């Protein structure tokens, strides 16, 4: 509805008043502010202009207190609420109200629970615990507090906040659990969720390049009957042991452990908005639409109606994976939320947590309608507090940041520092794409600014597109080197060496910063792209791409099922497709067993060969590739050689006190001369 008169506090002492020109031509010679005790505050008109059929006034006012409700009147005594708007986005506001405490949310004991919520603009805050109402007391820095006697374990609650004369409902952004579909937050007895996370059982990780990452969606892992997993689509399905397909082949956790990777990266496991937790089979989603950053997703819980289930189930998963020697990386999406206006953040402090430009332009670098503003001090603090929670409460071993370029460099460096302090072995890496968020280029946490983030890795899309070919739908026919575009042949050695150069300029400052991959949840699978491109030798090319990822300097990344030619039936963006499209078909693990074994052997060889895991470019590596013969040949410290035959001819390899330890079949032990076939990679070591 069109408003006749609106007024906003946009700076500590500046009000923006807007009057529709249909009302007295929008003219007013004076404005006054009135507080709830009927005290008047004079204003001074500093500026006036006409825009979009309304008159806009900039008013100076002194003496207002943030957090009180005010009304403003024009010369005709038309009254409207004074709304807290862009004042919350000023540096002065952050200086006045930044709260460094670590006690936001609920502090529970059996005798009483303490509730704290940060909302400097709220004049009153109420707590509703299943119909019992409590009034919070305002404390320093805009924190509101109440202590409620008695054991509240399992009780649901929400906040009611009066801001600029309007009441807002909000769940607790610091809550540990909630009722289904994020309707209410829930108080948990922390003793009940205290589970040994078995961090001490993890093997030593000497350096980041010792990591081998396997990306998996919780639901995809067990959604198809071929998995043989009872807890289909659930957290607990990840850790069922002894499962087999209907054909008797090993599936599930036992299969994963047999592959030998070091890190399991899980697509979003926090509460997201696009799946009905009470009827999860009705919708599918990857989960890149956060609703509650600190609450596990309910559709993955064994009992969504039990608020403890989602928490305990996930902790059991992490504990079991740690027991088996696997680290767990969490895919986090702090760059945006499902819907800005339905979030607790917007209800608690409107206009604060989401990035806007001049005149309220909504930043939409995520293309999801909003960008979370990590440059606001309490927005940054929330991300850091959330990271700390996942590490200390759940034992998470690393974080993959979705659309990291929407966040700022300062925040990401603080995240990396915190993660390292809590666990020196934990990793931070992300998508450093340059997204069109309303943030200065030199502040974005993008790949082009990687040198300013000394402890953060980046997905290497140059590696992906050069090796495989174009990933976007419009580029589906564009082939990379390993799909047959030999014109790019000369670029392959640089990728194998950790991508120190891009277009003849320095790229990554260290090999470990390059997360090397050709396939992830996004875009077509490699197998589907090869079918689209109508290439020959599909299985050999699949092997070669896996080996190229696993034997390159940097951190190798494999998408679940890539090792058995996973197909999504050609889908380019399956984020909301069915389980039929997304679910892992475990029959293929048997049908493509040769590639599975090849992948396992390549992982084992990488682990036992330090020459593939250098942390610096300052190492003894020689590129002896032969362009005319279309042969890649890399020599590592006189101990190891990697050779790839990209020609269509056979190539004789002479061994001199050497042996071939890896070839087209995987693990090998060949001491005689060897005939290298087209599209074959071999590894040679000193005998």
Chain centre to alpha carbon of residue 310: 20
- The candidate with the shortest Cα–Cα distance to 663, out of 579, 605, 584, is 605
Give 394's contacts (C-beta < 8 A, 6+ positions apart).
Answer: 197, 314, 315, 318
Tokens of 179: 């009722």
Q: Which residue in the block uniquely carries the two structure tokens 């948990």? A: 188
* Helix (H) or strand (E) segment spanning residue 393: helix 377-394
664 sits in which H/E element? none
- Which pairs count as long-range contacts for 318-322, CB under 8 Å and 24+ apart, including other chains? 318/197, 318/394, 318/395, 318/396, 319/195, 319/196, 319/197, 319/198, 319/395, 320/198, 320/239, 320/253, 321/238, 321/239, 321/264, 322/197, 322/198, 322/199, 322/201, 322/202, 322/395
- How far apart (Å, rounded) are the C-alpha atoms in residues 189 and 279? 27
Nearest to 217 by CA among 503, 2, 520: 520
What is the distance between the alpha carbons of residues 407 and 418, in angstroms, rounded to a whole number?
16
Lookup result for tokens 């507080």: 35
Q: Which element (helix H / strand E) includes 59?
A: strand 54-61
User: Contact 435/365 with Cβ under 8 angstroms?
Assistant: yes
Measured between alpha carbons, how far is residue 401 from residues 335, 387, 433 in Å? Answer: 8, 11, 11
Using CA atoms, how far residue 97 sits from 88, 154, 377, 601, in Å, is 10, 32, 9, 56
Q: CA quadruple 467, 473, 474, 477: dihedral positive or negative?
A: positive
Question: Tokens 């409460």 — which residue?
Answer: 393
Q: Is 153 in contact with 250 (CB distance < 8 Å)?
A: no
Question: What gap in Å lies between CA 176 and CA 174, rounded to an integer?
Answer: 7
Please confirm, yes or no, whether 476 is among the known catalytic residues: no
CA 7/CA 18 separation, integer angstroms: 6
Which DSSP category does 401 fall into?
E
End-to-end CA distance of the chain: give it in Å, rounded: 81
Catalytic (active site) residue 11 = no
Residue 325 DSSP class? T
d(C-alpha 291, C-alpha 298), whole Å: 11
- Among 289, 331, 431, 680, the one annotated catalytic: 431
- Residue among 408, 399, 405, 403 at smallest CA distance from 379: 408
Report residue 186 as tokens. Answer: 């829930």
Tell me the C-alpha distance between 365 and 380, whole Å.
18
Give the separation between CA 514 and CA 445, rounded to whole angstroms: 15
Q: What is the DSSP letter of 485?
A: -
DSSP strand pairing (166-170 vs 156-163): antiparallel
| Relative orientation angle of helices 309-323 and 377-394, to the nearest 10 degrees | 60
Annotated catalytic residue, options 402, 519, 601, 633: 402
Phi, psi of 621 (to 5 degrees): -125, 135
- Catalytic machinery residues: 402, 431
């Amino acid at each position: 509805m069109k408003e006749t008169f609106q007024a906003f506090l946009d700076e500590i002492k500046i009000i923006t008043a807007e009057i529709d020109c249909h009302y007295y031509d929008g003219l007013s010679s004076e404005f006054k502010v009135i507080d709830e005790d009927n005290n008047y505050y004079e204003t001074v008109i500093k500026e006036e202009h006409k825009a979009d059929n309304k008159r806009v006034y900039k008013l100076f006012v002194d003496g207002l207190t943030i957090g009180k409700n005010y009304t403003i009147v024009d010369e005709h005594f038309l009254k409207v609420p004074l709304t807290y708007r862009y004042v919350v986005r000023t540096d002065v506001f952050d200086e006045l109200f930044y709260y460094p405490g670590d006690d936001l949310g609920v502090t529970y004991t059996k005798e009483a629970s303490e509730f704290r919520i940060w909302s400097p603009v709220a004049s009153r805050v109420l707590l509703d615990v299943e119909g019992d109402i409590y009034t919070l007391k305002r404390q320093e820095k805009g924190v509101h507090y109440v202590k409620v006697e008695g054991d509240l374990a399992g009780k649901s609650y929400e906040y009611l906040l009066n801001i600029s004369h309007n009441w807002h409902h909000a769940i607790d952004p610091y809550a540990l659990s909630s009722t289904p579909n994020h309707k209410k937050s829930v108080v948990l007895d922390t003793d009940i969720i205290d589970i040994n996370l078995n961090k001490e059982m993890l093997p030593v990780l000497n350096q980041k390049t010792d990591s081998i990452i396997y990306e998996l969606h919780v639901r995809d892992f067990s959604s198809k009957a071929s998995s043989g997993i009872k807890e289909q689509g659930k957290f607990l399905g990840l850790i069922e042991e002894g499962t087999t397909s209907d054909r008797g082949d090993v599936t599930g956790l036992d299969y994963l452990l047999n592959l030998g990777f070091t890190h399991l990266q899980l697509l979003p496991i926090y509460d997201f908005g696009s799946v009905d937790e009470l009827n999860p089979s009705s919708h599918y989603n990857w989960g890149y639409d956060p609703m509650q950053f600190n609450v596990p997703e309910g559709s993955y819980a064994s009992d969504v109606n039990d608020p403890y289930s989602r928490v305990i189930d996930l902790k059991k998963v992490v504990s079991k994976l740690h027991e088996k020697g696997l680290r767990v990386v969490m895919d986090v999406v702090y760059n945006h939320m499902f819907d800005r206006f339905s979030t607790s953040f917007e209800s608690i402090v409107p206009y604060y947590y989401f990035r806007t430009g001049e005149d309220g332009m909504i930043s939409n670098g995520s293309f999801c309608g909003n960008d979370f503003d990590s440059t606001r001090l309490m927005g940054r603090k929330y991300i850091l507090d959330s990271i700390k929670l996942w590490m200390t409460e759940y034992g998470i071993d690393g974080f993959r940041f979705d659309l990291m370029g929407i966040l700022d460099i300062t925040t990401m460096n603080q995240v990396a520092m915190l993660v390292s302090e809590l666990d020196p072995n934990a990793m931070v890496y992300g998508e450093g794409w340059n997204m069109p968020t309303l943030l200065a280029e030199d502040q974005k946490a993008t790949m082009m600014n990687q040198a300013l983030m000394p402890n953060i890795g980046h997905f290497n899309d140059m590696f992906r597109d050069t090796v495989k070919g174009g990933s976007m739908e419009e580029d589906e026919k564009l082939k990379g080197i390993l799909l047959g575009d030999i014109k790019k042949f000369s670029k392959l050695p640089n990728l194998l060496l950790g991508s120190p150069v891009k277009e003849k300029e320095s790229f990554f400052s260290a090999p470990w910063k390059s997360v090397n991959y050709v396939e992830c949840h996004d875009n077509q699978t490699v197998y589907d792209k090869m079918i689209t491109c109508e290439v020959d030798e599909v299985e050999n090319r699949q092997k070669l791409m896996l080996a190229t990822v696993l034997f390159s300097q940097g951190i190798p990344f494999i998408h679940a099922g890539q090792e058995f030619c996973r197909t999504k039936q050609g889908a380019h963006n399956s984020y909301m497709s069915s389980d039929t499209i997304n679910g892992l078909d475990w029959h293929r693990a048997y049908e493509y067993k040769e590639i599975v074994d090849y992948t396992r052997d390549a992982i084992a060889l990488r682990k036992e060969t330090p020459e593939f895991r250098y942390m610096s470019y300052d190492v003894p590596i020689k590129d002896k590739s032969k362009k005319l013969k279309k042969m890649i040949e890399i020599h590592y410290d006189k101990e190891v050689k990697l050779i790839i035959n990209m020609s269509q001819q056979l190539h004789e390899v002479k061994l001199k006190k050497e042996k071939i330890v890896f070839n087209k079949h995987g693990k090998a032990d060949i001491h005689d001369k060897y005939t290298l076939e087209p599209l074959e990679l071999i590894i040679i070591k000193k005998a």
